[in-house]
Chains A and B, each alone.
Chain A
Amino acid sequence: QKEVEQDPGPLSVPEGAIVSLNCTYSNSAFQYFMWYRQYSRKGPELLMYTYSSGNKEDGRFTAQVDKSSKYISLFIRDSQPSDSATYLCAMKGGGADGLTFGKGTHLIIQP
């Protein structure tokens, strides 16, 4: 069983819709959860960072973490064509090592 599961998509929605992206994980040691946005052939850009369970909002983006279900989500409100990209979830425990990533969801916002 892979540590982090993420539906690769593509997920296609009309402009202005609310987008829901999610990941599940199996390692209960994960405490820190991130969402990155990656445009084609570019490096990932950090969008959201959350610690433990709860919600965090930043502009049109909301990140949710449910550690009891081992499930994290990213919501995008008022989606724009410029939001079209691959969204990667990432997580780690308390150590000094690297992040564990999902495979990424390819999101397409139709004008």
Chain B
Amino acid sequence: DGGITQSPKYLFRKEGQNVTLSCEQNLNHDAMYWYRQDPGQGLRLIYYSQIVNDFQKGDIAEGYSVSREKKESFPLTVTSAQKNPTAFYLCASSMRGLRGRNEQFFGPGTRLTVL
């Protein structure tokens, strides 16, 4: 059963702590993305990766870091430098190629709350 999994579903963090959100896909997609969604807001791009061992900053990368050591995995670390980390985090993936990379498929999301 192909798809994108994100874990955990809910995550609570104390101020000053780093936390890592997991994203795994078994769709054999090359490209993966991280978005953030705040209440009443659209999704905003944090980081994206087109191939293994390569990634680029999106519109709101400050306070976040990523790695892409495997094609299937694209973990996101929310660092203590992120001033307002409470949000719904969504991972997406797509195929490469002109049309493929435009059709992005999303995971179920992780809701992060800073206590």
Contacts and interface: CB of A to CB of B under 8 A. Distances in A.
Contacts of A51: 99
Given A43-B90, A46-B103, A103 B41 contact: yes
B101 interface: yes
Contact of B42 (A46, A96, A97, A103): A103
Given A41-B109, A42-B109, A97 B58 contact: yes
A54 B84 CA distance: 40
B64 interface: no
Contacts of B58: 97-98
B106 A44 contact: yes
A47 B41 CA distance: 19
A104 B104 contact: no
A4 interface: yes
B25 to A, nearest CB: 12
Nearest to B102: A32
Task: Give the interface residue-count category, chain A.
Answer: 20 to 34
A59 to B, nearest CB: 18
B48, B88, B104: most-surrounded residue (chain A CB, <10 A): B104
B40 interface: yes
A67 to B, nearest CB: 15
Contact of B33 (A32, A42, A98): A98
A102 B92 CA distance: 17
A99 B31 CA distance: 13
A45 interface: yes
Interface of B: 4, 6, 31, 33, 35, 40-45, 48, 50, 56, 58, 88, 90, 92, 98-99, 101-109, 111
